[in-house]
Amino acid sequence: MENFLIQWHAQLMDVDRIPVILLAMLLCSIVGMVSGPLAGNAYPFLWQVFDILFGKLGERMDRPNRPKADLVFRGFMTASFMVFIAALTGKIFAELSIIEPAYGVTQVLLLSLLFTAGSIWFSLLRLYFAMEQDKVVEGVYYAIARSSRVNLAAGDDFGVTRTAMALSARSFDKGLVAPALWFFIGGFPAACIYSALALASWRFGKNGLGAGFGIVPLALERLMGMIPSLFSAIFITLASTFTPTARLHKGLESWLGHKNRSPYEQGGAPLSALAWALNVSLGGAVQDLSGVALKGEWVGPEGATAQLDHKHLRRAIYINVIAHILFIASLLGAYMWGGLLL
């Protein structure tokens, strides 16, 4: 029993996983910036695999004319099956990393499938340059719409900018920080389970404004994602220190009180930190890709403008990049500290 507990503890929060996380971040950043989003979706590759496997199935089961209890049960069964497949996938990834380590390359490559960074920057920068030059560039709006699951044709340019800025905060949280922390805590199985739940929330959750089918995936994702989202918000808040026109003291205000803060399902603390640091209003009503109107909360300080342009988007991109750098620095610090304790 004692040996089992020692081995179990050794598998948790292994500092040797930190270099793997850093290299996987570097890989997905470079590949994403070169290739852009796969099929227009800037979120991690594993999300897209689970979307192919379960997306259409979930759509067929999520019928709005069914009783809410029936939809909740269907959502529970779908989420449970996704968690099972994700855990199995994580176990396979872990075994492959042991059987064919390839000097650690296998582990880095597989983990990069759970991350997003470069493809988000690619999509946001294309939108920024298109808006700055007032040009219509093929595919530039499609990537933002598909990644955020928002029908941009139903809004104006201000709404497009708000959606893109929100995507920068949410992707940093759910597409990088959360899976990285869960990999650090529990290896591939934990990271894959979180990624599957994040995909289910993104695909079926309707920002927490839907009823029935998405309730269970949202609740499970919130259970695993709440703590990582606070870390993401900390990095975004600190990044405002190095961002022109952003204000650290305003970002700190996002942690106080409850008025004009984003609910967790609509972006949570990371989105609030971004809006307050830049003194803008994000969120608001949108239409998702299925045509359902979602009356999201307005997020940001009182009196902040919601009429955002490419200059606001540029600052959001800047904060996103700086937040990545701060996350990397924190991982390096944790690795060095862990080495001193050993």
Q: Model confidence at 341, in pLDDT bands (50, 70, 90)?
A: low
Side chain identity, residue 11: Q
Report the pLDDT value the prediction gives residue 12, as an integer from 0 to 100. Answer: 65
Report the pLDDT value the prediction gives residue 339, as an integer from 0 to 100. Answer: 67
Per mean pLDDT, which range of 75-89, 129-143, 258-272 is the poorest?
A: 129-143
Report the pLDDT value the prediction gives residue 340, as an integer from 0 to 100. Answer: 58
Q: Model confidence at 154, in pLDDT bands (50, 70, 90)?
A: confident
Domain residue limits, the chain: 14-33+40-341
Rounded to two decimals, the pTM is 0.93
Report the pLDDT value the prediction gives residue 6, as an integer from 0 to 100. Answer: 45
